[in-house]
């Protein structure tokens, strides 16, 4: 849309022009009206319209005088004069100096529409030219900024000779060399295009990549010459407020001391980076200063012995629970261990990674995984967040638990299957018992009894007796052996007891059963 200002001293003509055309349909909005040249000039300075429609003859300041003054301040404004036929020859030369078009009074609708369409084309050409000029300027500024930011990256990360880099910067950006600097490491929750971060600075800061933290950028902001040491954190708080207005997602900004000049910017960067890494690792959103990190480190030093002692005991408990395959107890202990780390934020990433790697090594010994620690410490150190480390350890523990449980299940199947084979093989022995079978499969009688009952739903003694009765039935049905001989072959030397048990299973005595089978 383009804006228009109507300047006309006659009220009925002024109000008539407002409703004269369907301005919106033409892409024009009425910015305002004025009653004479003086008010027209003031309104033009206030509203900066794209188009002005003005009468030539007005009291106080006529249209030509007004147009001349407006042109000096707003060279791109398009001006259309309204003039009477009797004044036209007199004012034609003057109009040519200040106007883009003119419309004779009384104004005809079609003539006004045609004039407006011509002026709109001029406005479109002006906007296109301005856009191109702005694009060129932006490209030039962007190129210069990229060169400055590349030099800043070299300076902050210690690439090249600092004095030479500073000398190059002094040629390209005097402000950076003449003022104190605030250095911040900004870590969004997910990687964002630089333009999203630049919006927070309004081009007052310089952004360079921060390879030490995925998705992070480093911002260098010139400060006032009287900047205090905590000005960087104040600017960071302002940036955080702007970010919260744009996004609900958390943002971490690490800051150090303000740098008195470029030569000290590397130190300020390292402080900001360490603070940001500390904040990201422990999940601290907002502004994280190097002082906060130092205080947490000092606080941990005072409590380090108690923390380490508790960690070692918890690690021992996890190992014992793993040996007993107590999954719930393992996770409760891990939850306590991870909560303890979060409450001791000064322990440091490297130390925490070492402790977690030690826990994994201890647990790996359970399955005789002598090489279980290889490469794990490097994987842990490659993680920037405590949550990643905790998840890594939890995944390892869950995997180990699953493997050990599978082995136990397989071992149980093996023990039970071997027990059944032994019962079949030794069914004729009157020494066949739970104790004898337990000795054969190298477990305690109680453990074998539990495993067997859990797998088969019956005790070892019940299974032995069922097997004896099944074998007895086969022998009585298929052979002419005496009942006493059958009882002996199934390991039951007490004939009376044998007959009693057989009748319980089949409803008849062994002798009656055999006679029935022989008659068939």
pLDDT of residue 188: 87
pLDDT of residue 288: 94
Q: Phi and psi for 437 in degrees, rounded to 5?
A: -65, -40
Judged against a pLDDT cut of 70, whether residue 258 lies above it is answered with yes
380-408, pLDDT tens digit by residue? Answer: 988 989 999 999 999 999 999 998 888 78
pLDDT of residue 438: 92
pLDDT of residue 123: 92
Q: Is the dihedral of CA 399, 405, 409, 414 positive or negative?
A: positive
463-479, pLDDT tens digit by residue? Answer: 999 999 999 999 998 88
pLDDT of residue 96: 65
Cα–Cα distances (Å) from 519 to 158, 246, 482, in that order, read 106, 98, 16
Cα–Cα distances (Å) from 169 to 160, 164, 174, 441, in that order, read 13, 9, 7, 81
Judged against a pLDDT cut of 80, whether residue 132 lies above it is answered with no
Mean pLDDT of 152-171: 84
User: Which comes out higher in pLDDT, residue 133 or 223?
Assistant: 223
User: Which comes out higher in pLDDT, residue 192 or 360?
Assistant: 360
437-451, pLDDT tens digit by residue? Answer: 999 888 899 999 998
User: Which comes out higher in pLDDT, residue 215 or 474?
Assistant: 474
Q: Pick from 283, 287, 393, 298: which is nearest to 342 by CA?
A: 283
Cβ(233)–Cβ(255) under 8 Å? yes
Cβ(104)–Cβ(88) under 8 Å? yes
Mean pLDDT of 250-270: 90
| Angle subtended at Cα 459 by Cα 458 and Cα 465, rounded to the nearest 5 degrees | 95
Judged against a pLDDT cut of 90, whether residue 134 lies above it is answered with no
Judged against a pLDDT cut of 70, whether residue 152 lies above it is answered with yes
Highest mean pLDDT: which of 106-115, 161-170, 364-373? 106-115
User: Which comes out higher in pLDDT, residue 268 or 205?
Assistant: 268
The mean-pLDDT minimum among 190-204, 223-237, 406-420 falls in 190-204
Mean pLDDT of 4-24: 90
User: Which comes out higher in pLDDT, residue 321 or 174?
Assistant: 321
Cβ(18)–Cβ(45) under 8 Å? no
Q: Rounded distance, CA 215 to CA 191, Å?
A: 4
| 141: confidence class by pLDDT, cuts 50, 70, 90 | low
Q: Phi and psi for 180 in degrees, rounded to 5?
A: -65, 160
Judged against a pLDDT cut of 60, whether residue 371 lies above it is answered with no
Judged against a pLDDT cut of 60, whether residue 372 lies above it is answered with no
User: Which comes out higher in pLDDT, residue 380 or 409?
Assistant: 380
Angle between the N-to-C axes of helices 327-342 and 290-323, in degrees from 0 to 180, rounded to the nearest 10: 170
User: Which comes out higher in pLDDT, residue 86 or 278?
Assistant: 278
Cα–Cα distances (Å) from 510 to 365, 471, 488, 489, 507, in that order, read 57, 12, 13, 14, 10
The per-residue pLDDT of the chain, averaged, comes to: 87
Q: Is the dihedral of CA 151, 153, 156, 162 positive or negative?
A: negative
Judged against a pLDDT cut of 60, whether residue 349 lies above it is answered with yes
Mean pLDDT of 374-382: 83
| 501: confidence class by pLDDT, cuts 50, 70, 90 | very high
Judged against a pLDDT cut of 50, whether residue 278 lies above it is answered with yes
The mean-pLDDT minimum among 60-74, 271-285, 357-371, 496-510 falls in 357-371
Highest mean pLDDT: which of 85-99, 107-121, 190-204? 107-121
Q: What percent of the chain has pLDDT over 90?
A: 48
Query: Which 3-state string (H, E, C) describes 294-343?
Result: HHHHHHHHHHHHHHHHHHHHHHHHHHHHHHCCCHHHHHHHHHHHHHHHHC
- Domains of the chain, CATH where assigned: 2-107 (3.40.50.2300), 145-256+265-275 (no CATH), 295-403 (no CATH), 426-519 (1.10.10.60)
Exposed (0-12), middle (13-18) or buried (19+): which is 319, by Cβ within 10 Å? middle
Judged against a pLDDT cut of 70, whether residue 276 lies above it is answered with yes
Judged against a pLDDT cut of 50, whether residue 140 lies above it is answered with no
């Amino acid at each position: 849309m383009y804006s228009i200002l109507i300047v006309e001293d006659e009220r009925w003509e002024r109000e008539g022009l407002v409703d004269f055309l369907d301005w919106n349909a033409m892409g024009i909005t009425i910015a305002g009206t004025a009653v004479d040249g003086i008010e027209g000039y003031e309104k033009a300075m206030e509203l900066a319209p794209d188009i002005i429609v003005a009468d030539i003859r007005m009291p106080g300041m006529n249209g030509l005088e007004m147009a001349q003054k407006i042109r000096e301040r707003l060279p791109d404004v398009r001006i259309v004069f309204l003039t009477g036929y009797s004044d036209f020859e007199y004012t034609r030369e003057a109009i040519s100096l200040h106007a883009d078009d003119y419309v004779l009074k009384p104004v005809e609708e079609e003539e006004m529409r045609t004039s407006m369409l011509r002026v709109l084309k001029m406005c479109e050409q002006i906007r296109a030219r301005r856009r191109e000029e702005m694009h060129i300027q932006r490209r030039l500024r962007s190129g210069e900024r990229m060169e400055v930011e590349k030099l800043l990256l070299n300076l902050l990360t210690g690439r090249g000779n600092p004095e030479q880099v500073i000398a190059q910067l002094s040629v390209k950006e005097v402000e950076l060399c003449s003022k104190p600097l605030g250095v911040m490491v900004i870590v969004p929750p997910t990687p964002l295009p630089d333009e999203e971060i630049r919006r927070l600075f309004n081009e007052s800061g310089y952004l360079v990549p921060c390879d030490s933290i995925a998705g992070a950028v480093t911002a260098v902001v010139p400060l006032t010459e009287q900047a205090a040491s905590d000005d960087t954190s104040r600017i960071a708080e302002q940036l955080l407020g702007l970010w919260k207005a744009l996004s609900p997602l958390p943002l971490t900004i690490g800051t150090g001391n303000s740098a008195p000049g470029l030569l000290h910017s590397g130190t300020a960067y390292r402080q900001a980076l360490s603070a940001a890494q500390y904040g990201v690792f422990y999940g601290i959103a907002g502004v994280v200063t190097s002082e906060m990190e130092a205080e947490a480190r000092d606080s941990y030093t005072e409590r380090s012995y108690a923390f380490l002692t508790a960690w070692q005991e918890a690690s021992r408990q996890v190992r014992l629970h793993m040996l007993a395959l107590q999954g719930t107890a393992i996770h409760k202990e891990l939850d306590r261990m991870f909560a303890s780390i979060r409450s001791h934020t000064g322990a440091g990433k490297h130390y925490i990674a070492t402790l977690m790697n030690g826990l994994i090594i201890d647990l790996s010994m359970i399955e005789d995984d002598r090489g279980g620690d290889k490469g794990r410490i490097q994987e842990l150190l490659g993680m920037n967040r405590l949550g990643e480390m905790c998840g890594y350890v939890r995944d390892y523990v869950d995997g180990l638990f699953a493997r050990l449980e599978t082995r136990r299940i397989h071992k149980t199947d093996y023990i039970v299957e071997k027990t059944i084979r032994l019962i079949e093989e030794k069914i004729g022995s009157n020494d066949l018992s739970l104790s004898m079978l337990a000795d054969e499969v190298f477990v305690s009688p109680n453990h074998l009894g539990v495993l067997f009952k859990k797998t088969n739903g019956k005790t070892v003694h019940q299974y032995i007796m069922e097997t004896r009765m099944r074998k007895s039935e086969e022998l009585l049905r298929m052979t002419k052996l005496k009942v006493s001989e059958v009882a002996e072959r199934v390991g039951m030397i007490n004939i009376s007891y044998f007959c009693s048990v057989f009748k319980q299973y089949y409803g008849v005595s062994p002798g009656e059963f055999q006679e029935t089978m022989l008659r068939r």
